[in-house]
Amino acid sequence: MLFSGKVSVVTGASQGIGEAIALALAKEGAELILVDIQKEGLEDVAERIIDQNGRASIYPMDVSEMEEATEVVKKAIEAHKGIDHLVNNAGITRDNLLMRMKEEEWDAVLAVNLKGVFNFSRAVIRHMISRRYGRIVNISSVVGLMGNVGQANYSASKAGVLGITKSLAREVASRGITVNAVAPGYVATSMTEKLSDSVKKTFLDLIPMKRFCTAEEVAHVVKFLLSDEASYITGQVININGGLYM
């Protein structure tokens, strides 16, 4: 198995892309540290991993809180003797046109989507440097590259994720640590399932492949970037969008 003996932290692991990533890594032998503000969702994902003979621990917390992130990483290192992988996936939306957007809608999205990446990366990076090994994958979005109406806050946060990815990659490349980003397009989730057929058609008309991405397809790319097969790839943005943005 690819990740036998490895310890992987996945934020936003209670559902959607984070859940798919956690399950994919567990199948490859990784021991999972599952992080999310939704405790019940984490418990469900951990139970699925354990039922499949995997190993998982849950850490319910708010990724936007620096002290909480630092404490989670400290506890995880003590309990599991180290951290090999960090997947910064936690994210929220608070969509609105910019002229109507409330300050709290802007602040909430930036706090989780961008500051959360900073918090966990900062908490884990000294440990990875001391071991001269580590893999960090940040989940961005196609809208961080092309923008989207009603998502100035979300687009800004995901563009910021690309910036921190490239900067940190340069800082730690000589220490055996890679830092990359994945930018999915529209992903088939419970959220997209609730859209009307006309709205779905509008989105699909923009995608050359004429279908939504699956969470599992994103997980496959993350799994590759965490593997030793990707040991010479760093500071890159891998687009998974069916041709929506080229």
Task: Out of 154, 186, 232, 245, pick the active-site residue.
Answer: 154
Beta carbons within 8 Å of 242's beta carbon, 6+ residues apart: 185, 207, 208, 209, 210, 211, 212, 213
Instruction: Check if 154 is active-site.
Output: yes
CA-wise closest residue to 80 among 63, 99, 59: 59
Query: 110 to each of 10, 23, 72, 91, 201, how far by Cα in Å?
Result: 19, 27, 21, 9, 30
Q: In what order do the strands lie in the sheet with 134-139?
A: 55-60, 31-36, 7-11, 85-88, 134-139, 177-184, 237-240
Active site residues: 154
